[in-house]
Amino acid sequence: MEWKEIVSGVAPLLAGVLSGGNPMVVGLTSSIIKKALGLPADANDSAITQTLQTDPDAVVKVKQAEMELKETLSRSGVDIEAIMAADRADARKTQVITRDKTPKILTVFASINFTVVLVIIGILASNGKLAAMTAMEASFVTLAARETFSLLQTIFDFYFGSSAGSQAKDDTIKTLTQ
């Protein structure tokens, strides 16, 4: 499993930045992760992957690095939740204007994909084959389940709103009723 895949399961903010197209920002984020793991600045991808797979504290270190990045961005006046909410709002507005069928088709595909992954895991578990998998096979199954669930969660956030938006709504209602 590549180190960016491992980070995506542990630190979604860092993973999101890593998947962006800006090489400078990707390089900065990579440096933050290397520093958190105690690696030299010139460490290559395989060194990062090896550290994440062998150091039992590596996941905690990456998560701490993500929390520090969030604090730094917050002190700088960057509201990550507001940026993500604005991104979802723009996507929803675009959908209303264009009435494109692609999101609905992707939603159906993602739902079927998620169901198939769960059925496969259930079959493997009931046959005792889940426990007998090699580490590589198990990491693939875990990655498939995590990614399909993440995709489905993103779709639900798009159509029904996110928990961050719900929390803001609840806070507003609470403030108005006092």
Higher pLDDT, 142 or 114: 114
pLDDT digits (tens, 9 = 90+) for 93-124: 887 888 888 888 888 998 898 899 889 888 88
Q: Cβ distance 66 to 135 under 8 Å?
A: no
User: What is the Cα–Cα distance from 149 to 110, expressed in whole angstroms?
Assistant: 9
Per-residue pLDDT tens for 17-56? 776 656 777 777 888 889 999 999 899 888 988 888 888 8
For position 168, what pLDDT does the model report? 56
Q: Spell out the domain ranges in the chain.
A: 3-75, 97-177
Count of C-beta atoms within a 10 Å radius of residue 57: 10
Is the full-model pTM beyond 0.85? no
Task: Report the pLDDT value the prediction gives residue 11, as an integer from 0 to 100.
Answer: 78
Residue 103: count of CB within 10 angstroms of its CB: 16
Q: DSSP strand E in 76-178: where?
A: none
Is pLDDT of 166 > 80?
no
Tokens standing for residue 35: 């520093």
Q: Is 57 within 8 Å of 36 (Cβ atoms)?
A: no
Phi-psi category of residue 26: left, alpha or beta, with phi > 0 → left and psi -120 to 50 → alpha: alpha
- Helix, strand, or coil here: 79? coil
12/83 Cα distance (integer angstroms): 14
Mean pLDDT of 152-168: 68
Query: Distance between CA 2 and CA 19 in Å, rounded?
Result: 13
